[in-house]
């Protein structure tokens, strides 16, 4: 490989991703990026390489802990192989509810993606007759068949996820309005939580947080994590879900 003409900013960004994320495998299956970065380092101009060495102990990335790659590497490799060769998978899978199934199904993988501390594969689930996101660690059996398929030209991961709060896209779209008190207002306003978010500041230092999401199943847990610092103004369906879950929590502790 010829010398790599990177700026210091470009090299620092690659080190952050390749060594701090990949080298420590904070995202499973990215460890090869660390080896790639070592090769790139050796081909950098002396000046850039020395500047990088001066920053090595002064930059770090620490991501939230994710599912261990042990036990799912074969699933990851088979899903990746199936996507490259456009060959259908035959699978068995345990649902999120814990229901175990001995029934196999055909799955046409469209994309692998990492979100919420775990790897998922998105594709067409023949039994469900729909596109589904399946968590790699829940596969109990998987094999690549000789059955070919094509990824629809209309498919994109961004379009599939739509305006989901994270990755579970509901059938209905909701206009969300939340009120955060002074104690949490700056923390909420300083963070990019959703692509559609809007923030309105009030004279007392509180904020109104607005966004549009497809489905309420994910955002309800985020709202609950804010405790008494967040109040749902709209929609009523979300406020009711929060109320029911909060009442369940109170009951859980009052029966001790």
Mean pLDDT for all residues in the chain: 93
Pairing of strands 198-201, 173-180: unpaired
Could you report the per-residue pLDDT of 231-255, keeping only the tens digit for each?
A: 999 999 999 999 999 999 999 998 7
The backbone torsions φ and ψ at residue 239, rounded to the nearest 5 degrees and listed phi first, read: -60, -40
Whether residue 101 has pLDDT greater than 70: no
**pLDDT at position 1 over 80:** no
Which residues fall within 8 angstroms of residue 52, CB to CB, at 6 or more apart?
8, 11, 12, 15, 41, 44
| Whether residue 99 has pLDDT greater than 90 | no
pLDDT band for position 110 (cuts 50, 70, 90): very high
CA 233/CA 230 separation, integer angstroms: 10
Q: What is the pLDDT of residue 70?
A: 84
The rounded distance, in Å, linking the Cα atoms of 256 and 114 is: 39
**In this predicted structure, what is the pLDDT of residue 170?**
93
Residue 180 above 70 pLDDT? yes
Which pLDDT band, with edges at 50, 70 and 90, does 169 fall under? very high
CATH class of the region 73-157: mainly beta
List the single range of 92-96, 142-146, 154-158, 219-223 with lowest mean pLDDT.
Answer: 92-96
| 241 and 224 Cβ atoms separated by less than 8 Å | no
**Are 126 and 105 within 8 A, CB to CB?**
yes
Q: pLDDT (tens digit, 9 = 90+) per residue, 132-142?
A: 999 999 999 99
| Average pLDDT of the segment spanning 3-22 | 89
Q: Is the pLDDT of residue 100 over 70?
A: no
**pLDDT over 70 percentage in the chain:** 96
Report whether pLDDT(88) > 70.
yes
Please state, in angstroms and rounded to a whole number, the distance separating the CA atoms of residues 241 and 251.
15
Query: What tens digit of pLDDT does each residue of 42-59 get?
Result: 889 899 989 999 998 898
């Amino acid at each position: 490989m010829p010398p790599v003409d990177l700026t210091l900013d470009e090299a620092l960004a690659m080190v952050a991703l390749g060594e701090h994320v990949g080298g420590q495998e904070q995202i499973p299956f990215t460890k090869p990026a660390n080896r790639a970065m070592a090769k790139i380092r050796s081909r950098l101009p002396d000046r850039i390489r020395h500047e990088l060495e001066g920053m090595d102990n002064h930059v770090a990335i620490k991501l939230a802990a994710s599912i261990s790659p042990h036990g799912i590497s074969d699933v990851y490799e088979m899903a990746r192989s199936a996507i490259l060769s456009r060959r259908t998978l035959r699978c068995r899978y345990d649902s999120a509810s814990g229901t175990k199934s001995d029934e196999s199904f055909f799955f046409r993988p469209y994309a692998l993606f990492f979100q919420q501390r775990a790897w998922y594969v998105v594709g067409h689930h023949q039994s469900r007759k729909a596109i589904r996101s399946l968590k790699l660690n829940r596969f109990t059996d998987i094999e690549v068949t000789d059955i070919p398929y094509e990824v629809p030209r209309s498919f994109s991961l961004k379009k599939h996820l739509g305006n989901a709060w994270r990755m579970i896209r509901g059938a209905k779209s909701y206009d969300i309005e939340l009120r955060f008190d002074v104690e949490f207002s700056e923390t909420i306003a300083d963070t990019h939580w959703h692509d559609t978010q809007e923030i309105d500041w009030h004279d007392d230092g509180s904020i109104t947080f607005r966004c549009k999401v497809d489905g309420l199943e994910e955002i309800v847990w985020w709202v609950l994590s804010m405790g008494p610092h967040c109040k749902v103004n709209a929609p009523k369906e979300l406020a009711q879900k929060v109320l029911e879950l909060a009442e369940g929590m109170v009951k859980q502790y009052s029966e001790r």
